[in-house]
Amino acid sequence: MPMRRTKSSKLQAVSQILLALFWSCTFVWARNPTNPSSSVNHTNIFAPASTPAKSIADLSVFVLVITGIIFIVVCGLLVYSLVKFRERRANLNREPAQVYGSTQIELAWTIIPILIVVVLYLATARVIHAIQDAPEPAGAVQVTAIGHQYWWEFRYPKLGIVTANELHIPVSDPSHPTPTFLQLLSADTDHSFWVPELGGKADLIPNHPNRMWMDPQRTGVFLGQCAQYCGTQHAKMLLRVSVDSPEDFAAWTRSQQQPATQEAGVNAGKRVFEMNACMNCHTVDGTPANGRFGPDLTHLMSRVTIAAGAAENNHENLRLWIQDPSAIKHGSLMPAMKLSDADLDAVVSYMETLR
Amino acid sequence: MSSNAITIPGSQIQARPWVDELHQWVTTVDHKRLGILYMLSALLFLVIGGVEALIIRIQLMHSHNDFVSPEVFNRMFTMHGTTMIFFVAMPVLFGFANYLVPLMIGARDMAFPRLNAFSFWLSFLGGLLLYFSFLGGSGLYGAGNAPDVGWWAYAPLGARAFSPGHSSDYWTLSLLVSGFGSIGTAINIIATVLCMRCPGMKLSRMPLLAWLNLVMGGMVLIAITPLSAAQIMLLIDRYLGGHFFDTQAGGSAVLWMHFFWIFGHPEVYILVIPAFAFLSEIIPVFSRKPIFGYPVMVAATVAIGLVSTSVWAHHMFSIGMSSYANSFFAITTMAVGIPTGIKIFNWIGTMWGGRIQFKVPMLFCIGFLFQFLIAGLTGIMQAAVPFDWQLTLSYFVVAHFHYVIVGGILFAIFGAFYYWYPKMSGRMLSESLGKWHFWLFLIGFHLTFDVMHIPGLLGMPRRIYTYEPGRGWDTLNFIVTIGAFIQAIAILVFVANLIISYFKGAEAGNDPWDAWTLEWSISSPPPAYNFATVPTVASRRPLWDLKHPEDPDSRYE
């Protein structure tokens, strides 16, 4: 019997050391930007691309180091006492010394944690203040983001642009910062805006305006999605943030400010759009369609995806989406329009002119 | 103090018809039988909640899986969370408190035996109501519906506009009903501990288990009341045209969050403090030493209880509170780590210099210490508010709180089952099956919940029924699913052990672990009246005094 106990305690110790190693690997793996999974996913919190995300990542590393040291010390004490004070043949029938406590030791392991907490708190409070109370500079881009079941509406009040699901913002040069400040609102349930490489989460709550900002320092597409459970299709409420160079952003702004193109060849489709319920929910600027329940379609074809990122924006998907939205996104609030094939083709052709 | 109980003639001689036996159990007011009823109902719901977890895990095994529809997935995580918190964790802990507190303080029953039975049946009825939603959830529209608003049912998702039918009503009513049951039990535990102690058992001589359950009872009174109030307000919103949380009519979604989390965070401690209580009884016995720093342990528990009532908004760091509010809840949340740390150090101090026996109850307690340490440290990470802006609502949080509830609380509960099963049944649980249970569960637990942290760091939000390929989440989720199945197998081993040992286990005798508290002085299972003569105690370890008259504890306290 004593032999078995020894084995079991060693097993315990070995397994705990293995676990400790596993844990350190976990964080190294997540932090290592060269590993293949993090270079493609674009949603790694340890690959920050803007100032708020960067200061969060720096604070995270600081906290990880401190908690890592605590882990090693406490786990070391635990493993040591398990191995050293296990029952052996030599002490089998002898009760150990009955010790009831020690005021000095209790004081030591009360005061040291208090000091650690004070340090952690000060570091935390500094970053909270730096991110949350940052003043909005004059050149900042303003965006109002409105959460809907299950898509995003983006309005640029100063630029007069309304778009959906794909946010375009300018890259911010640290010497001439052009950060983007978002005001976050909700049209229905709670949502949360989360693009991990650009910043932490900020919830969109009805009757409770929230705000966040970001100043991306490299161009490219950043992915994210709704993080607060908002209903059936919470999973497919995806986010794309396109960080454009100043020239690209200016070009995008100019094209989005135009009213919808009016091509004579697709009048049939336009009529289908306006004779059916489509126009109750969707806006096409410059036409009678001015619904606000669904995404603005004025420049639909400038977007890479439809259905809040659930599908690529191409002819087949558009057609399928209009015919039977639940085939792409079951539970979406867009109704199946049940159009005839001719009407369907006409309306898809019309959509494809909305660049 | 008597170590051999009187047997009542007739109680073991003739076998009763099973209807009589069942009637006895249903109408019982005996704290021990009610305790066992609590545990059995919790085990039943554990299996149901576990099946729901497996459905979730199969669905998330790889990206774009369509094992279940989004609606079913949303019901599964809602029911899994609600079941595990309200109908597994709380009942099983109340069951142990019911069974053990009177025995450990030398009482013959709880202070209010009939209230005790009432509370149990209310809690159980709550669970049945929750599951009845599968049949009645959508009223006349058909079966198969259940609450799908998440276990915290954030407003306005629970409002009628977004949750038509009756599924949310079953959720509300079941929490309301079982909440009243919890309040009844809490009052009972508090009254029992304060009024029913045997002669000589001063508060300063009470076993830590009784102390910790006293604190737990107080926290239930503080935490469950706002939850019940919020449920009533929600019912008023849904049926009487109220506008507390109805945002479309100017109500406040944030108000619901405050109500829910001022319940929700103390709830974590309502669950973990009884788990601390098990450790505080089991670790000393298997280290052959008294608990290290008894007064400090009591003080730390009371401190946790007090501080934990002012940390709730750390669940709401992303809603846009002011930077001052965020800082306040950061410091209170970090502060709660101090008394918790003291407890971990004291348990290590108890083992230090002892003679540690690696019996199965102790193995589970060691697992607790290790995992609770990690859970506490990931908790500190989330108290660092900006870090939490990234971690909250992601799989990191899911991994963190399962580390607390499974890696911590459930491990302690398993330890408690192995430790007190002999007292309750008169038979030992099999050590070899117990070791299979422990190692399988340990491996499954770590595969599942260690790995689950990483998708959170890589941007995977919680509560999504599917996810896009190419985010680096597939492999990790697959490993997590495998771990979940290993845990399920371990649970089956545990249930088999409970059943097989009940019939074939070795006779336990009064005191199989050579322990020191009063429940081990009487027969296993104890007679209905517990103690033939009410014991008198002179120290915290009355049985140590009895076994070591040359060196009694009473000389040092």
CA angle B172, B177, B81 (to 5 degrees): 55
CA angle A37, A38, A44 (to 5 degrees): 140
pLDDT of residue B44: 96
pLDDT of residue A350: 95
User: Taking Cα atoms as reference points, which of B301, B308, B442 lies closest to residue B364?
Assistant: B442
The answer to whether the CB atoms of B389 and A16 lie below 8 A apart is no
> pLDDT tens digit string along A22-31?
666 665 555 5
Count A/B contacts: CB-CB distance under 8 Å: 310
Q: B4 in a domain, yes or no? A: no
User: In Å, how far is B88's CA from the nearest CA of chain A?
Assistant: 24
Residues of A in contact with B248 (CB under 8 A): 206
Instruction: With beta carbons less than 8 A apart as the criterion, state whether A149 and A108 touch.
Output: no
Along chain B (557 residues), what's the average pLDDT of each consecutive run of 10 residues?
Answer: 49 73 94 97 97 97 94 95 97 97 96 97 96 79 78 92 90 96 97 96 96 97 96 96 93 96 96 97 96 96 95 96 96 96 96 96 97 96 97 97 97 98 96 97 97 96 94 95 97 97 95 96 95 94 93 84
Do A65 and A29 lie in a common domain?
yes
Angstrom CA distances, B128 to A112, B41, B123, stand at 48, 10, 9
Minimum Cα–Cα distance from B445: chain A residue:
A19
Residues of B in contact with A36 (CB under 8 A): 472
Q: A10 in a domain, yes or no? A: yes
The answer to whether the CB atoms of B390 and A109 lie below 8 A apart is no
* Dist CA A225 CA A209 (whole Å): 19
Do A186 and A234 lie in a common domain?
yes
Band the pLDDT of A7: cuts 50, 70, 90: very low
* Dist CA B27 CA B264 (whole Å): 33
Q: A117 in a domain, yes or no? A: yes
User: Taking Cα atoms as reference points, which of A105, A86, A138 lies closest to residue B293?
Assistant: A105
SS3 content of chain A, % helix, strand, coil (to 5): 45, 20, 35
* Dist CA B282 CA B516 (whole Å): 10
Domain CATH for B418? 1.20.210.10
In angstroms, what is the C-alpha Rg of chain A? 28
pLDDT of residue A23: 63
Do A145 and A40 lie in a common domain?
no
Band the pLDDT of A264: cuts 50, 70, 90: confident
In angstroms, what is the C-alpha Rg of chain B? 23
Do A119 and A27 lie in a common domain?
yes
Residues of A in contact with B394 (CB under 8 A): 227
Do A53 and A168 lie in a common domain?
no
User: In Å, how far is B212's CA from the nearest CA of chain A?
Assistant: 19
Chain B contact for A257, CB < 8 A?
no
Minimum Cα–Cα distance from A235: chain B residue:
B464
Q: Got the DSSP string for B473-500?
A: -HHHHHHHHHHHHHHHHHHHHHHHHHHH
Do A269 and A161 lie in a common domain?
no
Do A22 and A71 lie in a common domain?
yes
Query: Which tops the pLDDT comparison, A13 or A6?
Result: A13
Q: What is the mean pLDDT of residues A53-81?
A: 96
Chain B contact for A295, CB < 8 A?
no
* Dist CA A27 CA B371 (whole Å): 17
Q: B11 in a domain, yes or no? A: no
Q: B1 in a domain, yes or no? A: no
Please identify which residue in the block is written with the tokens 């719901």.
Answer: B45
Q: What is the mean pLDDT of residues A263-280?
A: 92
pTM summary value: 0.93
The answer to whether the CB atoms of A22 and B446 lie below 8 A apart is yes
Q: A247 in a domain, yes or no? A: yes
pLDDT of residue B478: 97
Bridge partner list, A161: A156
Minimum Cα–Cα distance from A96: chain B residue:
B354
Query: Which tops the pLDDT comparison, A34 or B120?
Result: B120
In angstroms, the first-to-last Cα distance of chain B is: 20
Q: A190 in a domain, yes or no? A: yes
Interface test with A, best of B323, B355, B388 (most A CBs within 10 A): B355
The answer to whether the CB atoms of B450 and A26 lie below 8 A apart is yes
pLDDT of residue A33: 46
Average pLDDT, chain A: 90
In angstroms, the first-to-last Cα distance of chain A is: 79
Pairing state between β A220-225 and A210-214: unpaired
Residues of B in contact with A91 (CB under 8 A): 355
The answer on pLDDT for A4 being more than 70 is no
Do A30 and A117 lie in a common domain?
yes
Phi, psi of B522 (to 5 degrees): -115, 175
The answer to whether the CB atoms of A101 and B294 lie below 8 A apart is yes
The answer on pLDDT for A36 being more than 60 is no
Q: A96 in a domain, yes or no? A: no
Domain region containing A301: 264-351
Structure tokens at B259: 């109500």
Greatest CA separation found in chain B? 75
Chain B contact for A54, CB < 8 A?
no
Q: A217 in a domain, yes or no? A: yes
Do A212 and A285 lie in a common domain?
no
> pLDDT tens digit string along B288-339?
999 999 999 999 999 999 999 999 999 999 999 999 999 999 999 999 999 9
Do A235 and A328 lie in a common domain?
no
pLDDT of residue B143: 62
Structure tokens at A267: 């009048």
Q: How many domains does chain A have?
A: 3
Q: How many domains does chain B have?
A: 1
Q: A97 in a domain, yes or no? A: no
Instruction: With beta carbons less than 8 A apart as the criterion, state whether B335 and A117 touch.
Output: yes
DSSP 8-state class, residue B290: P
Minimum Cα–Cα distance from B373: chain A residue:
A71
Phi, psi of B85 (to 5 degrees): -75, -55
User: In Å, how far is B291's CA from the nearest CA of chain A?
Assistant: 7
Q: A94 in a domain, yes or no? A: no
CA angle A26, A27, A28 (to 5 degrees): 95
Interface test with A, best of B321, B389, B479, B553 (most A CBs within 10 A): B389
Pairing state between β A180-186 and A210-214: antiparallel
Domain CATH for A206? 2.60.40.420
Structure tokens at A162: 């309304």
* Dist CA A263 CA A113 (whole Å): 71
Do A165 and A66 lie in a common domain?
no
Domain region containing B243: 18-555
Q: B6 in a domain, yes or no? A: no
User: Taking Cα atoms as reference points, which of B42, B37, B30 lies closest to residue B413?
Assistant: B42
User: Could you tell me which residues come within 8 angstroms of residue A222 by beta carbon, excluding any fewer than 6 positions away?
Assistant: A42, A49, A195, A197, A198, A216, A240, A241, A242, A243
User: In Å, how far is B514's CA from the nearest CA of chain A?
Assistant: 11
The answer to whether the CB atoms of B351 and A123 lie below 8 A apart is no
> pLDDT tens digit string along B432-456?
999 999 999 999 999 999 999 999 9
Phi, psi of A208 (to 5 degrees): -150, 75
The answer to whether the CB atoms of B334 and A120 lie below 8 A apart is yes
ipTM reported for the complex, 2 dp: 0.92
Do A177 and A230 lie in a common domain?
yes
Bridge partner list, A142: A181
User: Could you tell me which residues come within 8 angstroms of residue B29 by beta carbon, excluding any fewer than 6 positions away?
Assistant: B109, B113, B114, B116, B117
Q: Which of A5, A128, A211 sits opposite B358 (nearest CB)?
A: A5
